[in-house]
Structure 1
């Protein structure tokens, strides 16, 4: 294993670094200090190199593109209804940044920070650390977060989040990574499997209502049996008129894997110790929309505790007590598809 560091640009007066972890298979995991971004995952076969992650090669694109491409988001990923919650008997009101609600921890979240990096050149892990100040993002307590990216010898990417705060606060970050496992071809024909029977219902502002919906094949949301994303979109359009996925699944049983995305030659299996998976069909590089069901560039797959958990009993515990350390781990396992 080797890790190399290179400058990738400058953000708010500080250098941004790109870290490349490479294993004996010559698979490469690339991450950035800016927003602890997962920039790329490159695998090798007889046909050459294959990128499995939708990414940019220029820092300015990461900064200006609103899709949070590859970034670590939080301290709380997803939405908090009315930007408000109760913690220890006290109501905490934050500054909304999406209508009346808060998304991804607000406008001063992890996705806006340039992290400090540490690594062993002969190791397999890059550790990226930053501190969110309560005076900056409004959450209780100053929260120190370390995001550790690891590439194993057998082509597993592991992302671990560790948090410790000076006061009891909330902690539910994730990586807003977008996948495409078919050499950049539209994801519509890639095959998706999700080990979940329940979907989080949301209101017109995409804020969870506190109610779960049991998925059915007729709904378009049921990926318990593998099917193409296009097949799901067609069923969704027929059932609801919607032509995109932007939805949170409740992972009741964390049997491995919780999800899989597969193309003709490559696949990724997702594993996690958390109970939620958000999928989002998107064109983060600005491809024009077409009539009917769009042709999508990428699928975001965000592993986290179910959105707005602090406001809904049974959604999961994202409270981080003062002085304690909490960690979460997500894994992404590469598989070569045998035809």
Structure 2
């Protein structure tokens, strides 16, 4: 295992570093200190490198993109309805950044900061302290994110936090996958360990209702994105996915092509998928998707809906969540 480091750019007068971890199979992951971003996931097959995730080769594109490409988002990933919630009957109202709602922790979420970094046992460890005065959440949160790559090609991202007050904590990596050899993602097969999904309102905020899967959303067996979009159009006329599936803990999903697959696992209960083209928004508007976002987290807006999961972080107690992504070659 080898870890290298180089400067990738500068953000707010601070150097942004890129770390690359490479194992003996020449599988590589690259991580930025800016937004604790998963910058690349490269595998080597018969001497040829393949990138499995959407990425940019310069910092400016990461700063400009509205798609949060590869970034760590939080304190709470996804939307919080009306940008408000209660903890122990105390009401909190935060500045909205998505209409009347809060998305990805607000305008001062994790994705807007450059992290301190180090390497420990071939793992990249990123840390930052987020102040209540900056983001409006109760208490000051000390966050540690650890990226690792195993000899068996499994990527693990762990999020550990401790806070000075009882608060909310539900981060994820906003990563987009395409494991095919094509520039579009339509031939990518998807299987999701889910029997239900969240209903949302016109602002994409969960209503609290959990729905059984109709044919367009049924990924219990492998289905290509092309077939899924056809089913979705027949179902309800929609032409894109931006949806949350209720998943069982541990095994979450698999995506595959005829050459390779990635298995997803998590210790939380939700998966958000999103068809997109973060490299070319105009093509995305024309439904020419080049990737699928796969965001593992506790169900969005959990604080406002019973049964969605617990995202409360107790005062002074460290909590850790881990998402895993395992690459395997299909012979």
User: Deviation at 1:255?
Assistant: 4.6
| Unmatched segments (≥5 aa) in structure 1 | none
Aligned position for 1:198? 196
Distance 1:100 1:216 in 2: 30
Structure 2 vs 1, CA of residues 117 and 290 (structure 1 numbering), >3 Å: closer, same or farther?
closer
Aligned position for 2:270? 276
User: Deviation at 1:216?
Assistant: 2.8
Q: How many residues align?
A: 331
The correspondence of residues 133-144 of structure 1 with structure 2, limited to 5 A, is 133-144=131-142
Tell me whether 1:70 sits opposite 2:70 in the alignment: yes
Aligned position for 1:238? 234
User: Deviation at 1:98?
Assistant: 0.5
| Unmatched segments (≥5 aa) in structure 2 | none
Aligned position for 1:207? 205
Distance 1:302 1:133 in 2: 25
For residues 216-248 of structure 1, the C-alpha deviation after alignment (integer angstroms, 9 at most, x for no partner) is 32xx00000101011111111111111000000
Aligned position for 1:264? 258
For residues 7-43 of structure 1, the C-alpha deviation after alignment (integer angstroms, 9 at most, x for no partner) is 0000000000000001111111100000000000111
Distance 1:106 1:255 in 2: 29
The structure 2 residue matched to 1:126, chosen from 124, 127, 137, is: 124
Aligned position for 1:158? 156
Aligned-residue RMSD, C-alpha: 1.2
Secondary structure class of the residue paired with 2:82: helix
Contact 1:124-1:152 within 8 A present in 2 as well: no
Tell me whether 1:299 sits opposite 2:295 in the alignment: no
- Would you identify which runs of 4 or more consecutive aligned residues in structure 1 move more than 3 Å? 287-291
Distance 2:126 2:305 in 1: 31
Structure 2 vs 1, CA of residues 34 and 290 (structure 1 numbering), >3 Å: closer, same or farther?
closer
TM normalised by structure 2 equals: 0.98
The correspondence of residues 16-95 of structure 1 with structure 2, limited to 5 A, is 16-95=16-95
Distance 2:283 2:108 in 1: 31
Contact 2:41-2:53 within 8 A present in 1 as well: yes
User: Deviation at 1:124?
Assistant: 2.6
Secondary structure class of the residue paired with 1:62: helix
Structure 2 vs 1, CA of residues 184 and 150 (structure 1 numbering), >3 Å: closer, same or farther?
farther
User: Deviation at 1:294?
Assistant: 2.0
The structure 2 residue matched to 1:221, chosen from 214, 217, 220, is: 217
